[in-house]
Amino acid sequence: MIIKSVNGKQPQIPKDCFIAENATIVGDVVMGSECSVWFNAVIRGDVHSIKMGDKVNVQDGAVIHATYKTSPTTIGNNVSIGHNAIVHGCTIHDNVLIGMGSIVMDDCIVESNTIIAAGAVVSKNTKVESGSIYAGIPAKKIKDISPELSKDEIERIANNYVMYSEWFK
């Protein structure tokens, strides 16, 4: 794993987090408890801060970055960032699933209990409404999420990644 300080800022990673051997975490990155950063994922806090809550999983090949001096990245609790997704200079609230290969651009706000579908592109300045699924290019609301789906899918995946990370520790 590459964990590097940049411009005097060192990543802060609790001991109960799992970081894969070839993951990269640099700069002003603060992670909550029970997070996991999987193979080939990159979290680059060199140009602005990246703050992550508890039980965030950053799956294989995902990239989290920010925009120089203007747009930090803030991620809440129980967030799953799917394989090869890009999360860039935005705010992700609690209980969110960012689907595989999707892109969430600068200054977006993804409210709680939402799903960004695989392959979706959430364009700059989009506000993703709580309790909904967004899909497409550009991403648009396609339906509401029932509380059951939110619990069954979003929470289940976040909890599964805590379990998976135990296998590697």
Give the domains, in start order, of the chain with CATH numbers. Answer: 2-168 (2.160.10.10)
Q: What's residue 151's pLDDT?
A: 75
**Measured distance CA(143)–CA(130) in Å, rounded:** 11
Residue with tokens 């997704």: 85
| Three-class DSSP labels, 26-76 | EEEEECCCCCEECCCCEEEEEEEEEEECCCCEECCCCEEECECCCECEEEC
**For the segment 94-142, what is each residue's pLDDT rounded down to a tens digit?**
999 999 999 999 999 999 999 999 999 999 999 999 999 999 999 999 9
pLDDT tens-digit map of 134-154: 999 999 999 999 878 877 889
- Which of 117, 80, 115 is closest to 102 using CA atoms? 117
Split at pLDDT 50, 70, 90, the class of 169 is: confident
- Residue 4, pLDDT above cutoff 80: yes
Closest among 62, 126, 55, 60 to 94, alpha carbons compared: 55
Give 44-80 pLDDT, tens digit per residue.
999 999 999 999 999 999 999 999 999 999 999 999 9
pTM of the model: 0.94
Task: Give strand pairing partners of 63.
Answer: 42, 86
Fill in the DSSP letter of residue 162. Answer: H
- Are 113 and 104 a contacting pair, CB within 8 Å? no
